[in-house]
Homo-oligomer: A and B are copies of this chain.
Amino acid sequence: MARKAASPNRKEEIVSAAVEVFAETGYYRATTAQVAGRAGISQPYVFRFFATKEDLLAEALNVSWTRTFDAFRGVIESAETPKLEEELIGAYTELMERHRSEILLQMQAQTIAEPRIAGIMREGFRETRKLVQDAFVRAGIDNPKHRTLIFLARGMLCNTSMALDLPELMEEEDV
């Protein structure tokens, strides 16, 4: 039997590098050489782990959605009803601060037409929506579907505000 060693998490390192490079430069303009450089390996070595650049994008998006689900699930399992929505917003804010690149990548991927990528994005949004809506229903919140829509909508505007560095887009206190 064979034993692997070296960097046991090479694959994860490459994915992390890809998330950053894709987010900064744009998936199509970003090169596999940039990703490799960021991961501290040579460009051809990337292809030992991912057959194509698109495979790498798909995995980067999966990682990003998994983190999103986990963040929301953590809140849903622990938060008390009256603070549920507030804490979900808090969790997303923290996600955006700690994993900005993953959110920027999700934003990009919304307009990528490749069926495989579009499928991942659709599933990501569907699952997020289900997670939040079920939690609102279980918490006995009124108009759960409406509240879920508003929650997701604020999230999308929050993304725009972050990506374009336009914090005023999220101001809502009237004097």
Contacts and interface: CB of A to CB of B under 8 A. Distances in A.
B157 A122 contact: no
Interface residues of A, number: 45
**Majority SS at the chain A contact face:** helix
Nearest to A121: B164
Q: How many copies does the complex hold?
A: 2
A95 interface: no
A112 to B, nearest CB: 7
Contact of A143 (B23, B110, B164, B174): B174
Interface of A: 23-29, 104, 107-108, 110-113, 118, 121-122, 125-126, 129, 143-146, 148-150, 152-154, 156-157, 159-160, 163-166, 168-174
